[in-house]
Structure 1
Amino acid sequence: MKGKKWLTVLGMTSVLMGSILSGCGGGDEKAANQDVSGNSGKKVEVTLAGWGGNPVEQKLLQQTLDEFEKKHPNIKVKLEVISEQKQYMDVIKTRLIGGEGPDVFYLDAFEAPALIETGVLEPLDKYVTDDFDINDFEKPLLDAFKGKDGHIYGFPKDYSTLALFYNKKMFKEAGVDVPKTWDELREVAKKLTKGTEVYGLGVAPELARLYYIAESKGGKVVTDDKASFADPKVVEALQPIIDMHLKDKSAVQPSEVGANWGGEMLGQGKAAMVIEGNWAIPFLQDTFPNLEFGTAELPMINGKKATMAYTVAYVMNKDSKNKKAAWELISYLTGKEGMKIWTSKGYALPTRKSVAAELGYDKDPLRAPLVAGASYATVWQKGKNLPIITNNFNNQFVSAFLGERPLDEALKEAEKTANKEIEGK
């Protein structure tokens, strides 16, 4: 009931605000076109909220904001680092309910459908001009922030897909090539495995990493905002992951070898291959400088290329009193100039194709496979109930991965529990 109550409160707030803004007709258009400094000519302050990043990312963001303020001397940006990402949305929701939400803030694609539905976000379509070049964005990433009404509620600031990271030395010693298909990957993983010392593949047994595999046989993880992952086609698609762990003994999750995540497994030599995102590149280069590793696009499934994408957008609070200034900020941060500064060190990948090309990421030996995946990726997002669906899937999938119960049985129970929770919201 708590989630439903929150949606109701925010829905009422947006209805009330919509009535006020449209009371005289064309209120939103006037807000969009008013002079940034208003009638007083004073500097406008815009609040920008996000979660904390590593020191390099924080420095890059501040550098980008400094450049924005130089070009927009009548706008002052107040940066608010709210919390770590895990607590971030709870804080944002609370502030929005209390009427103290920031003008502009980060929104993960995973959370976007539910927040868009409440009506608390400003549609950005009317602010866009031709020189902003919407077609320059990778389409799957842009579409992640479109509402059911067809309006765009956010522009993606960066992203990562998943790629195959592999230990070049281990591959050479085993005399194997980088796998092009999942069938090849399974065979290569067997050859790379050395008892319990080295496993061929490090696996993250969670829906955020497995979604694209789960739907590769034609089944659906989510249907009409409800869990449907007990579909036999989903079970069939995921069974090879279980079999690699229990039958082949060639796959393992990080906790089973004393690691925290895939990048650490690869760096420590406990896995010859892992499936990770762009974040693993600087980690491996900094933490394991002597490791010779490569990346490749993920192996094809059923003859098709597939991967996941994770993206975050800048969105505007519908209750912002400085919408024109807020848009100026969003358009700079997600425009070509601002995005180039923010992604210049390779910690994040640019969502604009032109920026990726200008920075050379589409040709970079390590990042090119990640960039290539953006055009065909499945974005980590599927309706407002995905958080509930994910929690239940993960709990039961791990039990199947560890051999505690058959996969079909585990997923049936998880689906039933998830849908009960959704119905009880």
Structure 2
Amino acid sequence: MKKSLSIMLVMTLSATLLAACGSSNDGKTNQGATNAGKETGGQQEPVTVTLAGWGASPEEQDLLNQTLKEFEDKHPNIKVNYEVIADQYMDVIKTRLIGGEGPDVFYLDAFEAPALIEKGVLEPLDSYVTPEFDTADFEQPLLEAFKQDGKTYGFPKDFSTLAMFYNKKDFAEAGITSPPTTWEELQAAAKKLTKVEGGKVTRYGFGVAPELARQMYMIQAFGGKVADEQGNAAFASEDALKGLELVVNMHNKDKISGEPKEVGAGWGGEMFGQGKASIVFEGNWAVPFLESNYSDLEYGTAELPTVNGKKGTMAFTVAYVMNKDSKKKEAAWELMSFLTGKDGMKTWTSKGFALPTRKSVAAELGYDKDEVRGAIVAGGSYATPWQAGPTLPTIMNNFNNQFVDAFLGKSQLKDAMQKAQDTANKEIAAAK
């Protein structure tokens, strides 16, 4: 999932949000700039802040460069040295932090945040924040993803939730007048939309990604958990299986859903664009992909259907965080508060490649009312962040290995999930 995000969005919502430190909205502007100057012994002597991130599309890179230029224009005594770490991003960051050569500010995915916070290498940011920075303006589930023990270690720069992408032409042909709003309605719609020719399915009503990053909210729909308070895998519980069973049954019993590989597609957006699925659950990264590769496709989006009477979706987000060992913390905060403040975030998200984590910016840019992106933005207030403690990588690998077999009917769901849970917990115990 993470790889797909960084490639498609670029896919994880790559590149970065940047916001207004020069205005009163971002707090600590003038005083912070003065302090940044003093760090080098005089306000006129420039401070260079290092910023590290992963690669982005050329369009996103241009937006980031524009935002960094706006920051430097407003803070002439602070220069930003931006470095792209193209390969093995987290391994490189961790190695540099251990070696005392980490960047002052860097990107951190919510997926990786708990483990890095636990290692004590991130600077708590609460003491830097002023009321003008307005933390209440962030979508709270996204902000909470970077908190631990009441302390804030990062501010989210951009995000995407999962929304329902549906083919308008297929819906019209099937006599479906509106997107389904409940899981039961989704099942009924997918049955009508599935096309069989010569005994073979040529179009599935519903395209599914059988992986934990897409199914975590289904585990939670009936009260299940991915991990318990001790960090052990817990997804084989009866409550967790209830949600997963809904997904598996549409494929194995109803024969109205399929995964991309079953139709020769690489991911859900491609499956949808090729007309091999009438409905998929995807994020903001799918929008530019579809516009570039399937410009004639008539599609709409809607919030995901409720499960067990509850709204749910996944959120994928990345924050700016500060190296605890940075020698330029005031200047680093000036940069961070600009990148995640209102003006900088507006610049960074102005083209829609990334979506703003601040509600006011989403409203100002019209994304909350946008015909395509409105449903993606709406999910931010109730989404489940892609995060479940420092053991999530181990839990994810074991879940994915077994769940895909259950989805394809190669094993029973209960047996597969119990095997995955037991194996994950053995690995977690061995790593302690």
Normalising by structure 1, report the TM-score.
0.91
Give the distance between the partners of 1:138 and 1:51, measured in 2 at CA: 24
1:402 to 398, 408, 418: 408
**2:370 paired with 1:367:** no
What code does the residue aligned with 2:326 have? S
Give the distance between the partners of 2:67 and 2:224, measured in 1 at CA: 43
1:222 to 227, 235, 240: 227
Show CA shifts across 1:54-76 (max 9, x none): 11111111110010000000011
SS at match of 2:55: coil
Partner of 1:37: 37
Give the distance between the partners of 2:158 and 2:33, measured in 1 at CA: 27
Give the distance between the partners of 2:271 and 2:123, measured in 1 at CA: 42
Over 3 Å counting, the alpha-carbon distance change for 1:34 and 1:424 in structure 2 is farther
In structure 1, list runs of 5 or more residues that go unmatched: 1-30
Show CA shifts across 1:201-220 (max 9, x none): 11000000000011111121
What code does the residue aligned with 2:426 have? K
Question: Would you say the 8 A contact 2:32–2:334 is kept in 1?
Answer: no
SS at match of 1:58: helix
SS at match of 2:147: coil
Partner of 1:283: 289
Partner of 1:106: 107
Question: Would you say the 8 A contact 1:32–1:126 is kept in 2?
Answer: no
Q: 1:37, CA displacement in angstroms?
A: 1.6
Higher relative contact order (CA 8 A, sep 6+): 2
* Sequence identity (%): 66
Matches within 5 A, 1:203-214: 203-214=208-219
1:76 to 79, 102, 119: 79
Over 3 Å counting, the alpha-carbon distance change for 1:33 and 1:61 in structure 2 is closer
Matches within 5 A, 1:162-181: 162-176=162-176, 177-181=178-182
Q: 1:42, CA displacement in angstroms?
A: 1.3
Question: Would you say the 8 A contact 1:32–1:323 is kept in 2?
Answer: no
Q: 1:243, CA displacement in angstroms?
A: 1.2
1:65 to 40, 49, 68: 68
Matches within 5 A, 1:61-210: 61-84=64-87, 87-148=88-149, 150-176=150-176, 177-195=178-196, 196-210=201-215
Give the distance between the partners of 1:214 and 1:264, measured in 2 at CA: 26
Give the distance between the partners of 2:306 and 2:419, measured in 1 at CA: 30
What code does the residue aligned with 1:117 have? E
Give the distance between the partners of 1:296 and 1:280, measured in 2 at CA: 14
Partner of 2:299: 293
Give the distance between the partners of 1:130 and 1:187, measured in 2 at CA: 49
Partner of 1:12: none
SS at match of 1:164: strand
Partner of 2:245: 239
Question: Would you say the 8 A contact 1:343–1:350 is kept in 2?
Answer: yes
Question: Would you say the 8 A contact 2:224–2:237 is kept in 1?
Answer: yes
Q: 1:33, CA displacement in angstroms?
A: 9.3
Show CA shifts across 1:94-150 (max 9, x none): 1111111000000001110110111100011111112111111111111111112x1
Of 174-183 and 100-109, deviating more is: 174-183
- RMSD of aligned alpha carbons: 1.2
**2:393 paired with 1:387:** yes
Show CA shifts across 1:215-249 (max 9, x none): 11112121121101110111121112111111211
Q: 1:333, CA displacement in angstroms?
A: 0.3
- Displaced runs of 4 or more, over 4 A: 31-34
Question: Would you say the 8 A contact 2:33–2:77 is kept in 1?
Answer: no
SS at match of 1:319: coil
Partner of 1:19: none
Partner of 2:266: 260
Give the distance between the partners of 1:174 and 1:113, measured in 2 at CA: 45
Give the distance between the partners of 2:34 and 2:91, measured in 1 at CA: 32
Give the distance between the partners of 2:99 and 2:269, measured in 1 at CA: 40
Give the distance between the partners of 1:332 and 1:34, measured in 2 at CA: 15
What code does the residue aligned with 1:344 have? S
Show CA shifts across 1:34-89 (max 9, x none): 721221431100000000011111111111001000000001100000124xx211
Q: 1:331, CA displacement in angstroms?
A: 0.3
SS at match of 2:401: helix
Show CA shifts across 1:261-308 (max 9, x none): 111011100000000001111111111000001000000111111111
What code does the residue aligned with 1:79 have? Y
Question: Would you say the 8 A contact 1:205–1:398 is kept in 2?
Answer: yes
